[in-house]
Structure 1
Amino acid sequence: MRIEIDGAGLITAVKPNAPSDGAEIAAGPVVPTLPNLHSHAFQRAMAGLAEVSGAGNDSFWTWREEMYRTVGEITPEDAQAIATRLYVDLLKSGFGAIAEFHYLHHDKSGALYADRAETSKRILAAAEASGIGMTLLPVFYAHANFGGIAPHEGQRRFIHDVDGFERLMGELGPACGQAGATLGYAFHSLRAATPEEMNTLLASLPNSGPLHIHIAEQQKEVDDSIAWSGKRPMQWLFDHMPVDERWCLIHATHANPTEVERMAASGAVAGLCPATEANLGDGIFEAVAYRGRQGRLGIGTDSHISTSVAEELRTLEYSQRLRDERRNRLADGPHRSVGRDIYDAALAGGAQALGQPIGAIAPGKLASLVVLDGDDAFIDTAKNDAILDRWLFALGDRAVRDVMVAGQWRIREGRHDQDETINAAFKTAIRKLARH
């Protein structure tokens, strides 16, 4: 199979049974890189530090206090170093593009930087240094809970009013254009934005580009939503917002059968983050029922407790098995490969959620490709869809050899060409944070 790529990194032709004259021969099977639809890059700095039990029943809400402590100390330079190393690690596992759900906007006091887009530009710089594809999602975050409750001290670095957020978006259009990044935006959650604020921004910002929101991640959020509006968060969202293919609903863990049906019918993407959801004890998304209604889904690494394509997809499938006490839950029918079906679903949903021409080896798509290690005995002896099953369920990251993004090799034989420099900056940032 010959894949022809132009100078802009787009695939121009895919030719079976073609001669190899003048072409580079891949060192193993080639598949599309997976889009990563949900990231809080700065949270990678605290990975593994919230695994000590507290005085009571630990949950997302107790984990969040550790996150606030970490975020309170991160400088823009730290954020860039952490994000750059994270993005390289994600590339090495087979991700090729990321949607950065970015809400670390302001300094430690909550004040604007001299450049209000300072931290967003640091994310763009991290993407450029690593070579990962970027969809930047500045996050509107204004309140602590439903009903416009005032934010508390731990949230001060995240907070915008509508006017300030519109100004930020205006500055990021040119910055993303220059960096070759896609620009969308996000509402943090129904807890953090009032209906009036959401409607104002929907009317004032461009009606294009991805639009993401956290929704129904924890049972407490569902209970608080009912107390506020008489409706569950997913129910309220579909009753009051124009949810369509542009939207990505992050987590959607606590969706009842009616909400699963509405979400699938809307064309929105369910943004699942299985390793983080498992780490936080959020619950299990009803992926079997959702896929049974042709619902669209994609995968994110969220808090980056894991940075692995294989671990995320395996955790998604295994969560359904544990709940249902059955095997092979997300295959699309009898005699189907689970690995192939969940990889294909995450490719399509991720590409939609990122708003980028990725997720397939086809003309008109970006040449973002993973080369699996053809020297590995498991890969060498596997055929067709069994290659994906071996990678995702047996081998994990060590199967990934080379990674191309938009026609440029970023990972070669498991290494990035700037590994030493990137690792040194990351170590400096982590050492500084560890002293606090």
Structure 2
Amino acid sequence: MSKIPPSQSSSLDDWLCYLDNVHPASIEMGLERVAQVATQVDILDTNSKIILIGGTNGKGTTARCLESMLLAQGYSVGTYASPHLIRYNERVRINGKELDDHYHIDAFQLLDEGRKDLPLTYFEFGTLGALAIFKRFAVDYVLLEVGLGGRYDATNIVTPFASVITTIDLDHKEYLGDTRELVGYDKAGIFRTGTPAIVGDLDIPATVIDYGKEIAADLVLSKRDFIFTPNIDRFRWQYQDYDYEFANPAIPAQNAATALTVLAKLDLLPDEAKIAHCLSALSVEGRFQQLSEKPLVYTDVAHNPESARYLAGKLQQLRDRGFKIHALVAMLADKDKAAVFESISAKVDIWSLASLSGPRAENAANLASYLDQSVQAQCFDSVAEALTHVMPTISDDTALIVFGSFLTVADAIQHLQN
């Protein structure tokens, strides 16, 4: 693949291919190169207030909740998320909307010329490109999702107005460590002295709190400073003088409670009626998303133990309604597959397994080895092949859940759209 930069008239796909090949590594931890390029192209000098959102799971749903409530109050908002499902454009939103390709191309052109001989990874290009776009639009607030960990993630070059950790669990253990304490310490690297640091995890590792105290961050902690109380169809949120109860939204109510606390801490919380309206209208692609009614098909990006436990709860709700569960699973090889299957197996009646494509992909035969030996599972070469075979067999009393990766969800959505 050529490493010659595309021209301004090239397509976004051409630029993405170039970004994917211009650096020898897909991940390179560290902030020095990214910060230097950001300074060279002058994208950090901005009046936008940046809310930095880290966590193992729930970053996207928390960001979507914050975005909705800020927009409802008339603020302009830029949101950066990764990875995308179908189109790269999903990663950057201005006021809740994706942008035309030329905005991304302009940003990549600026960065490629401004970086000189400094190498950037695909994710680093994307992060800096988003910051360039947000400065171009001069938005009031930027919601910036952390990619991997926190301390050495490319997003951590900014000066946040507030920092948020949604949840903490084991994922990317080769980079972040194999205990929640190590993972938490890395994620706490997005905290800043004297700056609000809101943590929504329900069992916060001591390393997070200790680091926050060490640097004198303005810590706001779940179960200490704010309380989230779930019920069957509603949840209660309490923080300082606030004591509200809302219907459970389409996103995890825990993430909604964290978002509410962020806004309350920053004096940006809308009134109770506006909050209820925003929560009732929330939806996030790939998060227990219904793709079909007959047959009943859901998809979810769950790919680590914590997200699998949340999905297991949603599947139990379907079982309580009388549905059997047919699971179609495809995962990446570097995920904790044993823990994922352990978290969800009791809720599944029928198994189908599919292979993914790409260098990190796991094949269906290896996935099968993580199931109990008494379980029989059909194996397929792709998600599309599995859906072609399985969909006609789904009876009215069965719900199909397709999960295991963003790639799995993307393949399912594209197959059903076609």
- What's the TM-score, normalizing by structure 2? 0.32
Larger RCO (alpha carbons 8 Å, 6+ apart) = 1
- What's the TM-score, normalizing by structure 1? 0.31
